[in-house]
Copies of this chain bind each other. A is one copy, B any other.
Amino acid sequence: MNLELPTRPKPDQAIVRPVIADCDIHPCLAKPSDILPYLPKRWQEHAQTYGMLPRHGYQSGPAYPKGQPDAARLDSWPPEGRPGSDLSFMQKQHLDANRVELGIMTVIAPAAGAAQNLDYSAALARALNEWQVAEWTSKDKRLKASIVVPYEDAAAAAAEIDHWAGHDDFRQVLLLSRTAEPLGQRRYWPIYEAAQRAGLPIGIHAFGYGGYPVTGGGWPSYYIEEMVGHSQCCQALLTSMVIEGVFERFPKTRMVLIEAGLAWLPSLSWRLDKHWARMRSETPHLTRKPSDYIREHVWLTTQPMEEPEKRKHFRDIVDWIGPDRLLFATDYPHWDFDDPLWSVPVKLDEAVQKALFLDNAKRLYGIA
């Protein structure tokens, strides 16, 4: 085994934690019915009659076993409710303890955007956005929300973005990576147009479910495969965004890939550039090579961070991607939480470190 982690401080050593932005925090309903007060009466009745069921249930993906109950750290269960559902518990355990100056919230369960009934999908998205303000961002100014949208109905999603545009508490539009069709396709363009109009980045969180298995060759057996597969889905969706011309059509798009890994980005870009150089006649709407779009328009969150055996390879990858494009994230309260103290596998330059942990996020999300 050669999976050593960076040296952990000894228990009696003074630990100086860096001030961080955490670009992937998952607040959660204590129980599903807590969303009811935020839904109009018609949809309260719908949820109570038919259940609150996006594709494949309450979860944000097919029902593979998870690493832990609720996919959560065992110590993240508050006295009542589910992990991520209690603000004061989260403040104590995470925001204060880990010196989080800026926390970007990503509500992925329930996966409102994946509900089959599109009107319900829109109502649920609106309710979750109202809930985020009422229960979270209005109570803790460190927290900023991502706009949940009914992404399979792009017109309704655009309307939801327009509704919140300019609201100080919303700093991002949130999509999931597994959709009914690849995310670059034109049915989704009104979402990118609205995000550009609102001046908001688009965060695409791994997971979701559009009806297809995570692999191009059918349904895998194990959760490990599903987890590793997410990065392949994100490779495919980024390919789709580039090749369909989203960045050409909406040149102010800033896209954040959340929880998708990052070490695959260079090799994907090389392959895209190579094929595009030979087949560019298929895509006359593109004026630049794929890696140019990627370098201009794409940010990535760090968790779960790859850990090369030769640690210098991590530095090579950071160099290729650009140290200004990486956003630290913990994924709190999920089981695969990355601790800011020892999750970065190499010692980075101090400036790079500060950019990665804090400055990049503040710049991207417009925090003074």
Contacts and interface: CB of A to CB of B under 8 A. Distances in A.
A213 interface: yes
Given A65-B282, A235-B232, A276 B218 contact: no
A67 interface: yes
Given A212-B216, A270-B307, A278-B336, A236 B229 contact: yes
A243 B228 CA distance: 11
A237 B3 CA distance: 23
A282 B220 CA distance: 13
Contacts of A3: 273-274, 277, 289
Count of chain copies: 2
A53 to B, nearest CB: 20
A63 interface: no
Contacts of A231: 271
B268 A228 contact: yes
Interface in A275-307: 275-279, 282-283, 289, 291, 304, 306-307
Given A3-B273, A65-B282, A67-B279, A220 B239 contact: yes
A225 interface: yes
Nearest to A286: B224
A240 B233 CA distance: 15
B237 A225 contact: no
A182 interface: yes
Contacts of A273: 3, 307
Interface stretch (A78-86, A134-142, A259-267, A358-366): A259-267
Contact of A179 (B178, B218, B225, B309): B218
A17 interface: no
Contacts of A239: 220, 224-225, 228-229
Interface in A245-273: 261, 263-264, 266-268, 270-273
A168 interface: no
B233 A216 contact: yes
Q: Which of A215, A224, A304 is most buried by chain B, counting CB atoms within 10 A of its CB?
A: A215
A183 interface: yes
A265 B338 CA distance: 23
Contact of A216 (B65, B236, B316): B236
A30 B130 CA distance: 65
A222 interface: yes
B220 A236 contact: yes
A306 B271 CA distance: 6
A116 interface: no
Given A65-B282, A267-B261, A272 B224 contact: yes
10 contacts: A181-B218, A183-B217, A225-B236, A225-B239, A228-B235, A232-B232, A261-B271, A264-B264, A278-B335, A316-B316
Instruction: List the 4 closest pairs (A to B, CB-CB), nearest first.
Output: A215-B236, A263-B267, A181-B218, A216-B233
Given A220-B240, A225-B243, 7 more contacts: A212-B212, A224-B275, A263-B267, A267-B267, A271-B304, A291-B309, A310-B320
